[in-house]
Structure 1
Amino acid sequence: MNNDNNGNPWALIPFVVFLVLFIGSGIVLQDFYAFPVMAAIAIAGAVALAMGRKESLQERVDIYCKSAGDPNIMLMVLIFLLAGAFSGVAEGMGAVNSTVNLALSIVPQNLLIVGMFIIACFISLSMGTSMGTIVALAPIGVGISDQTDISMALSMAAIIGGSLFGDNLSIISDTTIAAVRTQGTKMKDKFKVNFLIALPAAIVTCLILGVMTMGQHAEISQSSYNWVKIMPYLCVLITALIGVNVFVVLTVGIVFAGLVGLIDGSYSIIDLVQTINEGMAGMFEIAFLAILIAGMVGVIRHQGGIDYLLHALTRNTKSKKGAEFSIAGIAGATDLSTANNTISIIVSGPLAKNIADKFGIDPRRSASILDIFACSIQGLLPYGLHLLVAAEAANISPVSILAYSYYPVLIGLCGILAILFQFPRLKRDGMRGEVS
């Protein structure tokens, strides 16, 4: 291992290879998803294994495998799989449709855009997926704009903003899982800190959307909903927030949603088992990415690359605030490079943890900062999947959505203010939300 406290910059070559492959191919092909991210990480990992003269290839492979199989990484993978299973089972038995229909029956017809934002917040908080929320709500947003003078881009921006709010906070979101596991904190603790920072951004977004769409009215056909189908979501949210073990939370959620589906005829036993399998399969890529990235980072760390980055990023940093801004910058820059907030957190998480440990930053804060700034940047990328999917559904340019992307900007601003004013103040064994 490199013994120089300043680290070894050459050990970062695998990171450079990954970014060149991913960003370079995106620029050349004008499609940031043309070159599979799994292939880019695998090639970068191979480069990491090929480097280093002090150890044999077998020793480097051992380091790679031990890092990839770290208990925190394996725990993250298992949570990914269970979260995918729950999301799939709940959606398959009609929980999403019932939730949307219930919300539409409550929201006043002259506040539909504000309502769409709030609905997107709740659904993504329940489902743990911003992309699934956008896919479910985009057609409704298109319908609202078709019936009113409300810009199609504004409708899509409201849905994207709400989807990112929930994705940023949900205990079954892959971004939250990655942030929590890389920083070594608990889901409910990260939620409490993150919520106090994100809530003002959501409230201001609602006010802006309300003022902009004042006087607009649309008649959206309302379908029936079933309270029982919504209960698995509420069960998962409540049990997670009171501190029940995440494995128990997700297992209970899967069983609850599965039983509802079996009783109302949505599933047969075989259908339910297949849906659980499909839900887990939908998380395979992100799970394997976490494993491959962890292995590559382990080799880079062993060769001094992480030490070098830590030294370079913090050599002029003298305070916790500066260190927290460094974590925010790492998360944002990585998301700009990868156009995927989950991958950016998995990649930048280990370095953020080192910075947090060095400056005594509470892991609840470092996890929240990682997630908030990755979320903020993700909502402002015209080449990111969130804007691309919404733009395709509405048949508009993703760039046009940026003019109305209030929530991503506001959550980033709230994150900056939270760092500057060190809000919320944290105690060792608890948390208080007031600013001194």
Structure 2
Amino acid sequence: MKKEMTFKLAIIPLVVMIIAMAVTVIKLDEGPHIPLIIGTSVAAIVAWYAGFKWQDIEEMMYKGIRLALPAVVIIMLVGLTIGAWIGGGIVATMIYYGLKIITPSLFLVAVCVICCIVSLAIGSSWSTMGTIGVAGMGIGLSMGIPAPMIAGAIISGAYFGDKMSPLSDTTNLAAGLTDTDLFVHIKHMLYTTIPGITIALVAYAILGRKFANGAMDVHNIEQIIKVLEDSFVITPFLLIIPVLVIVLVAKKVPAIPALVIGILLGFLAQIFVQGGNVADAVVALQSGFVIETGNEMVDNLFNRGGLDSMMYTVSMTIVAMTFGGILENTGMLEAIVKQILKLAKTAKGLVASTVVSCFATNATCSEQYISIVIPSRMFAKSYREKGLHSKNLSRALEDGGTLTSVFVPWNTCGVFILATLGVHTFEYAPYAILNFVVPILSIIFAFTGFSIVKLTDKEKLELKREDKIAL
């Protein structure tokens, strides 16, 4: 007989996982896989103690993994894209012209704005970071700008579009789960997101000033440009490939076929533009591109990519989702959220609790989508009872879920960024300004009542009528 999943039982796996994570990641400087396996094991034991059969527990883990399979496919395709685009000279071309055009003092602002535009057009932070972000890291490093700053600016720009684009899966998910019109949802997010990106751009402009007036190593940049010219065929025609991928996704071509086209074109560019052979192009796809130029910075930047480079991220995603699958499907997460709801006695506290719960779900279930799905289920009824419009909930889900996923090293987003941009979560966190400013603004607005919209009497009657029909 199954026992009720109480808060005391539900919190055990979480506490054990956090302790194991702290010891392993912070003290031992190792990856988060083992702590998550420990957490999964403890969650399985607690579920068994509560009366769940092993077959059911196993199926819960598989359900969690199945939820992450679309992300796993994208992760692998991004690895292939990086390998193909480096081998095809596409990344080298973007870096070459970037070094020619962008000045160090404006770089952080420029790369953030570019990522904003691209991610808004295609609706994907991962695709933006895996393409434009990789080139941006190369340009910024060549200018002597610290990697964490560059990564933070790229992340802020990429997640602006991920949050605000009508093509974004998280944007559609948050609107759909809360039964909010998509464009009503996007319009309501402007209140927190526009001030957030404005603060971020001002901060990047201030940070960029220290790299002007002599801080720029002109000789170093000239040397890198010379190495790129000697090592790759640089032509503006190669820029057609990333532009084509962006246009395809903007035209609502799904991300997977659009990326596959980009990979194929990069593969062909390595053979027919760069003069490589088929074997080298295949190696770039499988294990990454390899080059020895004698310039350490160029070698470090371009010796990367390929399917193999993403296997750490893939395994991390699978392990994380087994933990999240058990927590969600046994009711452990629900028990934790119910305890949080006891503290949210007012409308103000409810919105703040939603934002905090989304971040907590990101930390416990390690997946951005779950941080939107579960709180949307848990809080929807409470928003109605307190007379709040559903767009308050949909905005809080994105403010607390979509954006904060990057701050959890074992979350699929944090792991993806490490694999793609090569910067650890703890390093880029202070510079991913949009991602932490917006949740803070969301909580402040909740307690001040600014932009918190209540249901009209007509809307309340309509909801009651819909509830009666549903019954």
Report the TM-score when normalising by structure 2.
0.64
Following superposition, the deviation at residue 347 of structure 1 comes to 7.1
User: Following the alignment from structure 1 to structure 2, what is the Cα–Cα distance between the partners of residues 139 and 185?
Assistant: 40
After superposition, the C-alpha distances for 1:321-368 in whole angstroms (9 at most, x for unaligned) are 655533543465678x79xxx946477455444356554456576345
- In structure 2, what is the equivalent of residue 114 of structure 1? 106
1:101 counterpart = 2:101: no
Give the letter aligned to residue 370 of structure 1: G
**Equivalent residue number for residue 256 of structure 2:** 247
Counterpart-to-counterpart distance in 2, 1:83 and 1:209: 30
Query: Offset at 1:130?
Result: 9.6
Shift of 1:165: 2.5
One-letter amino acid of the counterpart of residue 377, structure 2: N
Q: Deviations over 1:155-175 (max 9, x none)?
A: 55542332322443577xxxx
The equivalent of 2:159 in structure 1 is 168
- Count of residue pairs brought into register by the alignment: 379
Deviations 1:196-246 (A, max 9, x none): 566424432343246556655743424554223333222222322332212
SS in 2 for 1:283: helix
The TM-score normalised by the length of structure 1 is 0.68
1:83–1:201: structure 2 CA closer, same or farther, 3 Å change rule?
farther
Q: Residues of 2 paired with 1:55 and 1:261: CA distance?
A: 54
Aligned-residue offset at 1:39? 1.8
What is the distance in 2 between the residues matched to 1:366 and 1:347? 10
Structure 2: how far apart are the matches of 1:270 and 1:322? Answer: 60
Once residues 105 and 328 of structure 1 are traced to their aligned partners in structure 2, the CA distance between those partners, rounded to angstroms, is: 42
| Contact in 2 for aligned 1:130/1:167 (Cα 8 Å) | no
Q: For the residues of structure 2 that align with 1:22 and 1:129, how far apart are their CA atoms?
A: 31
Match of 1:205 among 191, 203, 206: 203
Query: Alignment partner of 2:17: what SS?
Result: helix
Q: 1:318 offset after TM fit, Å?
A: 5.9
Report what 2:39 is aligned to.
44
> Cα offset for 1:21?
1.0
Task: Flag the 1:415–1:368 CA change in 2: closer, same or farther, 3 A.
Answer: closer
Change (3 A) 1:64 1:76: same
Q: Distance in 1 between matches of 2:168 and 2:94?
A: 24
Alpha carbons 1:7, 1:308 under 8 Å: kept: yes
> Shift of the alpha carbon at 1:138?
5.7
Aligned to 2:53: 56
Q: Counterpart amino acid of 2:39?
A: A
Given that 1:128 and 1:166 are in contact with CA atoms closer than 8 Å, whether structure 2 keeps it comes out as no
Is the Cα contact below 8 Å between 2:241 and 2:266 reproduced in 1? yes
Equivalent residues in 2 for 1:209-358 (5 A)? Answer: 209=207, 215-216=213-214, 218=216, 219=218, 220-221=221-222, 222-223=225-226, 225-265=234-274, 267-278=276-287, 279-317=306-344, 322-330=349-357, 343=366, 345=368, 348=371, 350-355=373-378, 357-358=380-381
What letter corresponds to residue 114 of structure 1 in structure 2? Answer: L
What is the one-letter code of the residue matched to 2:94? T
Q: Distance in 2 between matches of 1:41 and 1:126?
A: 28
In 1, Cα distance between equivalents of 2:422 and 2:70: 30
When residues 117 and 20 of structure 1 are mapped into structure 2, their CA distance, relative to the original with a 3 A threshold, is same
Correspondent of 1:136 among 134, 138, 145: 138
Residue 21 (structure 1) aligns with: 20
- Greater C-alpha Rg: 2
Change (3 A) 1:65 1:385: closer
Tell me the alpha carbon deviations over residues 102-150 of structure 1, each in whole angstroms, 9 at most, x when there is no partner. Answer: 122112xxx42322552476479744279856863464233xxxxxxxx
Pairwise CA distance, 1:19: 1.3
**Aligned pair in 2 of structure 1 residues 116, 208: CA closer, same or farther (>3 Å)?**
closer
In structure 2, list runs of 5 or more residues that go unmatched. Answer: 116-125, 288-305, 384-389, 454-471
Q: 2:402 is matched with which residue: 353, 371, 394?
A: 371
- Contact 2:153/2:204, CA 8 A, preserved across alignment: no
Relative to structure 1, the CA distance from residue 131 to residue 257 in structure 2 (aligned partners, 3 Å threshold; closer, same or farther) is: closer
Contact kept, 8 Å, 1:138 with 1:390, in 2: the verdict is no
Higher relative contact order (CA closer than 8 Å, sequence separation 6+): 1
Deviation at 1:28, TM superposition (A): 3.8
Shift of residue 99 of structure 1? Answer: 1.0
> What is the percent sequence identity of the aligned residues?
18
Q: Deviation of residue 309 (structure 1)? A: 1.8
- Segments of 5+ residues of structure 1 without an aligned counterpart are 143-151, 392-397, 425-436
SS in 2 for 1:244: coil
What do you get for the CA RMSD once the two structures are aligned? Answer: 4.5
2:469 — aligned with what? Answer: none
Query: In 2, distance between residues paired with 1:203 and 1:40?
Result: 36
